Amino acid sequence: MEQSFCASVPLKRLVVVGLGLIGASFAKGIRDAGLASEVVGVDLSSQACERAVELGIADRCTTDLAEACVGADVIMLAVPVLALKQLLTQLAALKLEHTIITDAGSVKGHLLAAAQAAFGHLPPLLVLGHPIAGSERSGVEAVNPELFKHHKVILTPHADTDPNAVLCVEKLWQDLGADVESMSVEQHDRVLAATSHLPHLLAFGLVDSLAKRSENLEIFRYAAGGFRDFTRIAGSDPVMWHDIFLANRQAVLEQLDQYRDDLDVLRQAIAEEDGRHLLGVFTRARVAREHFSTILAQRAYVKTMLDNDLVFLARPGGQVNGTIRVPGDKSISHRAIMLGSLANGVTEVEGFLEGEDALATIQAFRDMGVVIEGPEKGRVVVHGVGLHGLQQPPGPIYVGNSGTTMRLLSGILAGQTFDTTLTGDASLSKRPMNRIAKPLREMGAVIETAAEGRPPLTLRGGQRLTGMHYDMPMASAQVKSCLLLAGMYASGETSVTEPAPTRDHTERMLGGFGYPVEVHGATAKIEANHQLTGTHIEVPADISSAAFFMVAASIAPDSELVLQHVGINPTRTGIIDILKLMGADLSLERVHEVGGELVADIRVRSARLKGIDIPLDLVPLAIDEFPVLFIAAACAEGRTVLRGAEELRVKESDRIQVMVDGLTTLGVDAQGTPDGIIIQGGPMGGGEVWAHGDHRIAMSFSVAALRATAPIRIHDSVHVATSFPNFLELCKQVGMHVAEEGQV
Ligand code: S3P
């Protein structure tokens, strides 16, 4: 066969040895797709052979291995794992120098050793593979050419594998609709021992254990859905699984021992009526199962961003009417989990933001042993462990896209007895962390960062922190909060002075938990040796999310919208003041206080906006709302100038540059300056813009479409879920024409 094999699909001949579920499905998939001129089946059972031809699985089928294999392009071995050894010896004798041999077995280390023994070396055209696509059904009758669609196939090439051969096998699987990944043989066997082999062992073991009890009839009679779900895989092929456990003995034993230890702990918790432990295990397991790929693999947030270019398609025009409540405040949601976890007693949170950022904070504290129930329709129950009750997490804490989690958590972690590493997604990994690392180090923390103070951060435990006074060089609530939280673990007083007022949720909420914080003008002061006491928190709707709709209803004609129960903490209302200065028609209704935070319903009507010079003192009070304010400016008459906002360059994206780029594409005259932007209001067209992984950019351009003359395609919008998971639903509800592309 030529090296250019991949180009020469269809193959002349594909041989599939073993016509069980996997082999038959592979053969039929390839045959149906016309990827081989001839598909030849080999099976020890002449009956299976006959059926295979009848079912259209193979063009012909034989029990004679040599006859089928000599001259084949590719041979797929799909026999039970322990049968592979003998098969490889037979194949070695055939001297198939130009034939790719691949397999579908569940254990790779064993096969590699068998190949070495059979061939005397590892053949370059041997490509080990494993489709993660079994089923409890087995045999040729179970054939399903669609079996591999959207399933993973793991290839474990050895050091001498010919890369062309790997490409070929990869292509065949991809043509069957599978997602192909590769990993080392050792990693494969370890991962599969945990995720596949161990559950099968438990299922077989449990059914057998129950079946052999004298009262088994009774037990099985009452066995309902739970039993059936759990034990479905005990219907799998016994020979195949017998082989797998013998072949992957070592890795399975390691997993089994670990699991046995955990089971003992569960047993003890039941015996000792330790409900908290049980609740901890069950709540963690439930979430882990729901977010299998995102949380367990600790990479899916990144993967989502890399793999999915989620495009929002915003069609021009529309009015904005109705009454809506946007999701809970992100800043307050983070803090509720953090302080609730460090409190003594239980904290009940309502209105919690179920966005990815706040969920990342929940997961971080779960990783550190805190039992957190929910979120369930915005309700979360945090079983606090006290200021010194956190436990070392099992691995690095992954906080996704969330700068607030990373920065605030660092203040807490600097004061713990254990080491922790914090990692984030691609956007967060570019953001500056020296702003917290530097002052924390001055307090005695030991922190390692990547180059230029970027994440990941490793915080060394067991340090003595000393309180200090810090004059913040930038107006940042995250830095202020980080240091105040560290101050709970530092000797003496810790105080922070800010150059301009920033959001004060941390100070307010610490007070709500009974922890004293003194605030005098621009300085907040805290000291150690106090306690947090569990409390009730009602999270208001996020003014930063409401901002998109404030601008939407202002710029769209004939609009009137009520935004309910929005948090109007005075450190957050810059958006309202700026919009009013621009001539917006906004009024606050039902202003009242809930749990130390002011809330109101905000009524917005269409208005003719005019450009303004944004007052400097309002900048920190509207720091997250500028992307959408730039859209308001683009729709306003005249020029809007923003200065003193260099912080925008280090948010989830460089919000000045990214907005200038997008606005320019839409035909708006927008110029970036080092610390701001100058926008000349005027007509707006459509086009392709990029959100650069920044939720607020994607939502801002969605709003822009209300006044655009052509559709706006907004690339890279997946991160909207970090702060505003139901954004598109609410857009639709009020009359905006924005949706995921393909779903319009
Ligand atoms: C936040 C503070 C702000 C804001 C961020 C949330 C907080 O950041 O941009 O979205 O919850 O403390 P800086 O304080 O760094 O400006």
HEC-encoded secondary structure of 433-448: CHHHHHHHHHCCCEEE
Which band of pLDDT confidence, cut at 50, 70 and 90, is reported for residue 380? very high
Ligand 1 center to residue 14 CA distance, Å?
Answer: 59
- Given this model, what pLDDT does residue 300 score? 32
Q: Pocket of ligand 1, candidates 571, 623, 722: which has the most ligand atoms within 8 Å of its Cβ, to mutate?
A: 623
Q: Please state whether beta strands 321-324 and 560-567 pair in parallel, antiparallel, or not at all (unpaired).
A: parallel
pLDDT at residue 291 tops 90: no
Task: Work out the average pLDDT over 685-702.
Answer: 96
For ligand 1, is residue 99 a contact (CB within 6 Å)? no
Residue with the nearest Cα to atom 15 of ligand 1?
476
Position in ligand 1 atom list of the atom nearest CA 623: 9
- Given this model, what pLDDT does residue 301 score? 33
Residue with the nearest Cα to atom 13 of ligand 1?
476
> Where exactly are the structural domains of the chain?
11-183, 191-273, 312-325+540-740, 352-522
Ligand 1 center to residue 491 CA distance, Å?
Answer: 27
Ligand 1 center to residue 579 CA distance, Å?
Answer: 21
Beta bridge partners of residue 690, listed in sequence order: 715
Q: State percent of the chain over pLDDT 90.
A: 85
For ligand 1, is residue 477 a contact (CB within 6 Å)? yes
Name the one residue in this structure whose structure tokens are 């009602």. 538
- Given this model, what pLDDT does residue 305 score? 40
Comparing 191-273 with 352-522, is the CATH topology the same? no
Which of 189, 624, 694, 716 is an active site residue?
A: 624
- Given this model, what pLDDT does residue 511 score? 96
Beta bridge partners of residue 404, listed in sequence order: none
Position in ligand 1 atom list of the atom nearest CA 334: 11
Q: Which residues, 6 or more positions from 228, have their beta carbon under 8 angstroms from its beta carbon?
A: none
Active-site residue flag, 585: no
Ligand 1 center to residue 476 CA distance, Å?
Answer: 6
Alpha helices in 96-160 (DSSP H): 109-119
- Given this model, what pLDDT does residue 309 score? 79
Q: Pocket of ligand 1, candidates 404, 405, 481, 545: which has the most ligand atoms within 8 Å of its Cβ, to mutate?
A: 404
pLDDT at residue 360 tops 70: yes
Which band of pLDDT confidence, cut at 50, 70 and 90, is reported for residue 139? confident
User: 352-522 domain in CATH 3.50.50.60?
Assistant: no
pLDDT at residue 220 tops 80: no
Ligand 1 center to residue 408 CA distance, Å?
Answer: 10
Count Cβ atoms below 10 Å from residue 66 Cβ, excluding itself: 13
**Residue type at 710 in one-letter notation:** A
Cα 251-252-255 angle, rounded to 5 deg: 90
For ligand 1, is residue 485 a contact (CB within 6 Å)? no
* Whole-angstrom distance, CA of residue 439 vs CA of residue 14: 65
Q: Pocket of ligand 1, candidates 357, 436, 476: which has the most ligand atoms within 8 Å of its Cβ, to mutate?
A: 476
Residue with the nearest Cα to atom 16 of ligand 1?
476
Measured over the CA atoms of residue 304, residue 305, residue 307 and residue 312, the dihedral's sign is: positive
pLDDT at residue 306 tops 90: no
Position in ligand 1 atom list of the atom nearest CA 477: 14
pLDDT single digits (tens) 34-76 = 999 999 999 999 999 999 999 999 999 999 999 999 999 999 9
* Whole-angstrom distance, CA of residue 486 vs CA of residue 489: 5
Q: Which residues, 6 or more positions from 289, have their beta carbon under 8 angstroms from its beta carbon?
A: none
Q: 425-456 as b/e, with b when 16 or more CB fall inside 10 Å?
A: bebbebbbbebbbebbeebbbebebeeebbbb
Task: Work out the average pLDDT over 560-570.
Answer: 98
Ligand 1 center to residue 153 CA distance, Å?
Answer: 42
- Given this model, what pLDDT does residue 293 score? 56
pLDDT single digits (tens) 233-286 = 998 889 889 999 999 999 999 999 999 999 999 999 999 999 989 999 998 888
* Whole-angstrom distance, CA of residue 74 vs CA of residue 400: 42
- Given this model, what pLDDT does residue 9 score? 67
* Whole-angstrom distance, CA of residue 465 vs CA of residue 458: 16
Omega within 30 of 0 (cis) for the link into 375: yes
Which band of pLDDT confidence, cut at 50, 70 and 90, is reported for residue 2? very low
- Given this model, what pLDDT does residue 229 score? 85
pLDDT single digits (tens) 315-357 = 999 999 999 999 999 999 999 999 999 999 999 999 999 998 9
Name the one residue in this structure whose structure tokens are 């920065």. 407
Q: Which residues, 6 or more positions from 173, have their beta carbon under 8 angstroms from its beta carbon?
A: 129, 131, 148, 153, 180
User: 312-325+540-740 domain in CATH 3.30.1370.30?
Assistant: no
* Whole-angstrom distance, CA of residue 386 vs CA of residue 370: 10
- Given this model, what pLDDT does residue 304 score? 42
> What are phi and psi for residue 13, nearest 5 degrees?
-140, 130
For ligand 1, is residue 624 a contact (CB within 6 Å)? yes
Ligand 1 center to residue 266 CA distance, Å?
Answer: 40
For ligand 1, is residue 25 a contact (CB within 6 Å)? no
Ligand 1 center to residue 173 CA distance, Å?
Answer: 46
pLDDT single digits (tens) 596-654 = 899 999 999 999 999 999 999 999 999 999 999 999 999 999 999 999 999 999 999 99
Task: Work out the average pLDDT over 714-723.
Answer: 91
For ligand 1, is residue 363 a contact (CB within 6 Å)? no
pLDDT at residue 10 tops 90: no
pLDDT at residue 137 tops 80: no
Beta bridge partners of residue 136, listed in sequence order: none
pLDDT at residue 231 tops 60: yes
For ligand 1, is residue 544 a contact (CB within 6 Å)? no
pLDDT at residue 505 tops 50: yes
Closest CA to 167 of 353, 368, 7, 351: 7
pLDDT at residue 203 tops 80: yes
pLDDT single digits (tens) 465-504 = 999 999 999 999 999 999 999 999 999 999 999 999 999 9
For ligand 1, is residue 333 a contact (CB within 6 Å)? no
For ligand 1, is residue 623 a contact (CB within 6 Å)? yes
For ligand 1, is residue 647 a contact (CB within 6 Å)? yes
Closest CA to 711 of 737, 729, 673: 737
Cα 338-344-350 angle, rounded to 5 deg: 50
Which range, of 141-155, 170-184, 295-309, 459-473, averages the lowest pLDDT? 295-309
pLDDT at residue 296 tops 60: no
| Farthest CA pair distance, the chain | 90
- Given this model, what pLDDT does residue 1 score? 41
Q: Pocket of ligand 1, candidates 503, 506, 625, 650: which has the most ligand atoms within 8 Å of its Cβ, to mutate?
A: 503
Its pTM stands at: 0.79
* CATH number among 3.40.50.300, 3.40.50.2300, 3.40.50.720, 3.40.50.460, domain 11-183: 3.40.50.720
* CATH number among 3.30.60.50, 1.10.3720.10, 1.20.20.10, 1.10.3660.10, domain 191-273: 1.10.3660.10
Average pLDDT across the chain, whole number = 93
Residue with the nearest Cα to atom 4 of ligand 1?
624
Task: Work out the average pLDDT over 520-524.
Answer: 97
For ligand 1, is residue 545 a contact (CB within 6 Å)? no
* Whole-angstrom distance, CA of residue 18 vs CA of residue 140: 9
Measured between alpha carbons, how far apart are the two ends of the chain, in Å?
49
For ligand 1, is residue 331 a contact (CB within 6 Å)? yes
For ligand 1, is residue 646 a contact (CB within 6 Å)? no
Ligand 1 center to residue 295 CA distance, Å?
Answer: 24
For ligand 1, is residue 431 a contact (CB within 6 Å)? no
* Whole-angstrom distance, CA of residue 614 vs CA of residue 50: 81
Task: Work out the average pLDDT over 157-168.
Answer: 93
